[in-house]
Amino acid sequence: MRIDIITIFPEVILPVLQAGILKRAQARDLLTVNVHNLRDFTTDRHQTVDDYPYGGGAGMILKPEPLFAAIKKLEPESTARIIYLTPQGTPFNQSLAEAFSLESHLILICGRYKGIDERVRMKLVTDEISIGDYVLSGGEIPALALVDAIGRVLPRALGNYESAQEDSFSQGLLDCPHYTRPAEFEGMQVPDILLSGHHDNITRWQHEQSLKRTAERRPELLKNMELSAEDVAYLKNNK
């Protein structure tokens, strides 16, 4: 998979690509990430990327010409997804991360200031994505959130011991509690069942803990799920 990121702050993006799972996915050629400085696609002496909004108001707008030039240079095929990060976009979630991970080419546009000229959206952008209902000063952190979430669900990106199958949201539920050694710490015991060696019982316990956590913290997630009769009974008896 290839991801191109267009930004006026490559220095914000680059270090994050050099660590952990993202670094490993690139080293294994599962993922290629190219970071492009929008200023390299300007034609004036001052490398101007933004301008005042027509109609007035606070904030600057990213000009259309450098963005059009940058995307033209990337020669996207018609199947490429051109994603603009904006608080006005579709809320990002694990299903979208999984869907994007099946694409072969993504182009991420990081906005700054008040946003981008509407004609870039009209002509080039295929998807608008938000990472939450708050406003960041630019699209760099949102772009990194996408690259990280997508990179770790690429086939073979995670080692066996890091399976994404058990992540929060991968089955529509929040993850269960986890413990490691020591078995007793500051008077707190690891639940006996986890020390029992009964694999089936442990799996059932973990699933019930996920159900319980989801019901307590994110009940709206359960509404969209098909729960088994056993799950429904568990939730009813553990209110």
Residues that bind ligand ADE (CB under 6 A): 85-87, 111, 130-132, 134-136, 139, 142
Least distance between ligand ADE and beta carbon 26 (Å): 23
- To ligand ADE, the closest distance from the beta carbon of 131 in angstroms equals 4
CB atoms within 10 A of CB 57: 9
Which residue type occupies 215? A
Which tokens belong to 203?
């799996």
Q: Please, what is the Cα angle at 26 between 23 and 29, to 5 degrees?
A: 155
DSSP for residue 9: -
How, if at all, do strands 188-189 and 184-185 pair?
Answer: antiparallel
**58 vs 135 by CB, closer to ligand ADE:** 135
Least distance to ligand ADE from the beta carbon of 103, Å? Answer: 19
CB of 213 to ligand ADE, least distance (A): 25
Nearer to ligand ADE, 68 or 113 (CB): 113
Find out whether 36 and 11 touch, Cβ atoms under 8 Å. no
Q: Identify the residue whose tokens are 């316990």.
A: 205
Tokens 């869907």 found at: 99
> Nearer Cβ to ligand ADE, position 33 or 173?
33
**Distance separating alpha carbons of residues 14 and 150, to the nearest angstrom:** 17
Tokens of 1: 């998979």
Distance in Å, CB of 142 to ligand ADE, minimum: 4
Nearer to ligand ADE, 50 or 158 (CB): 50
Q: Measured from the CB atom, is 66 or 111 closer to ligand ADE? A: 111
